[in-house]
Amino acid sequence: MAPSPVNRTATTESIDGRFYLPFSRGQQKADFVLDVDFSVPGSGVTGIFGPSGSGKTTLLRCIAGLQACAQSNLRVNGETWQSAAPQAINLPVHRRPIGYVFQQPSLFPHLTAGGNLAFARKRSAQPVSTESYNEIVRLMGLENLLGARPESLSGGEKQRVSIARALLVKPRLLLMDEPLAALDLARKREILPYLEKLHQSLDIPVLYVSHSIEEIARLADHLLLMDSGKIQRAGPATELLSCTDFPVQLGDDLGVLLEAQVTARDSKWKLMRAQFAGGEFWLRDSGESAGEKIRIRVLARDVSLTRSEDQQSSILNRLPMRVQEITADTDPAMVLVQMAPRDAGLPPGDTRLNSTHIIARITRRSLHQLALEENSPVWAQIKSVAIVR
């Protein structure tokens, strides 16, 4: 029996949903049940992350109204879009102020890029000023592509047109379903900076579905972790992506996500310095100016440990840390060592995690040779080339 809908008082700055949807995926496959109850911020980017088949796209389709779901509630920033009996409400798709970006751009082949944008602009429920139109074109870097036909555009260029088209309908919620999944690695890295600009420049809540940890780490403020039709965990992306007990298997992608600020650029060596709570890193210069905020990922596999500082090394980043926790890894030969800065202010023996910490994946043999235990002082070493942007 399905659980009854959840009654909650939603704030004007939240997206609150409850969907219970049992259905069969086909005669040869087991029945699947989407059973989710969530409340996420009504601004910024919420990443919906999980393995293939976990229900991410089904959830997005329910929110858009493309998938019928009788047992449901949905409020978006104070507006009820869907609710179950006794006061049944179910806004049809065309009345939901959404922009939807699919895996495939699906541009009109007989229209130029500019023509595709003009079509969306005409369909907007609100007038789109020339200033707004030009801002979206500039944001997605389309100034020199407006006269091109879709067949002459690369996959990344097509998707940028598709995103601009979704923005031109003046949505109050932007849904993005694996927008980079059909692109090769080079095209993905080409378009990610545009998505970052979108995140920074526009005040539209975004629900971003992906099974790519790289995309989620670069774009998401909040995170819903899904598996088998259920939300396994929810919370700020920087916290969840820095957990050793991340509920979705990450393998070599396990690490921490840090919010940092660029403090200096070294033009001679093509490096920049980024400061975060508890330390700083030198990393490859990716063009940000001093003062800009960036996100950086430090993968556990790229962190080595020493008991004393090694100054005769090619490794530029050496952080004085203190062991906070040692846990088993999925590989029986390895362990995960979680560390906080030595000046974190925690009393000796206190194993509470600092807001900024680093995780190292090392062998059990190294753990024994270094005689590491909780509260041991160590130096964490991270190559500049290993830090992920």
pLDDT at 318: 95
In the three-class reduction of DSSP (H, G, I as helix; E, B as strand; rest coil), residue 7 is classed as: coil
pLDDT digit string (tens) for 101-154?
999 998 999 999 999 999 999 988 889 999 999 999 999 999 999 999 999 999
pLDDT at 248: 66
CATH 3.30.2390.10 fits 14-245, yes or no: no
Number of residues in the chain: 389
pLDDT at 76: 95
pLDDT at 342: 86
pLDDT at 151: 96
In the three-class reduction of DSSP (H, G, I as helix; E, B as strand; rest coil), residue 340 is classed as: strand
This prediction has a pTM of: 0.86
Map out the domains of the chain as residue ranges. Answer: 14-245, 257-386
Q: Do domains 14-245 and 257-386 have the same CATH topology?
A: no
Q: What is the CATH number of domain 257-386?
A: 2.40.50.100
pLDDT digit string (tens) for 236-255?
999 998 888 776 667 778 89
Q: What is the mean pLDDT of the chain?
A: 88
Low-confidence residues of the chain: pLDDT under 70 = 1-12, 24-30, 85-86, 247-249, 343-355, 389
